[in-house]
Amino acid sequence: MSLSERLNEDMKNAMKSQDKFKLSVIRMVRSAIKNIEIDTKKTLSDDEVLDVLNREIKQRKDSLQEFEKAGRDDLAETVQAEIAVLIEYMPQQLSEEEVKAIVQQTIQEVGASSKADMGKVMGALMPKVKGRADGKLVNQLVQQLLP
């Protein structure tokens, strides 16, 4: 079952169980996906749907930081709940150790020898960890491991 089909099924189930919160989060994601499909005039693949989900999660994490800074615990709780719903559709996240091993392997494959090669490493690395690791973590590990 594709990710889009899974979202549709979960939306139907949320309607049947009258889970209004989950229903609203799924509708919001489906709306973002539909807008991109309309703009590009094609149906999105699972990878492209993952990109949309990643973008939505990242936006919510940014909002969460702002709400916490402002002391708006009520809004922060709502955003955390939205993130939890969205994460259900993401692939299993890699641990920091797993990401570190992939980074080291990619540095060797690319033959990177200094921080000047960071662009090459990131270019080769991101498709390997797409949707399974946070970009900030990957960036930090690459910087740490490059001499």
- List the chain domain ranges: 3-87, 96-145
How far, in Å, CA of 147 to CA of 142, rounded? 10
Tokens 């919510």 belong to 60
Q: Which of 140, 143, 136, 138 is nearest to 57 (CA)?
A: 136
CATH number of 3-87: 1.10.1510.10
Per-residue pLDDT of the chain (147 residues; tens, 9 = 90+): 788 899 999 999 999 999 999 999 999 999 999 999 999 898 888 888 888 888 898 899 999 999 998 888 889 899 999 999 998 888 888 888 888 888 888 888 888 777 787 888 888 888 888 778 877 888 888 888 777
The topology under which CATH files domain 96-145 is Arc Repressor Mutant, subunit A (1.10.10)
pTM for the whole thing?
0.74
Q: Which of 105, 83, 71 is nearest to 22 (CA)?
A: 83
| 88: helix, strand or coil | coil
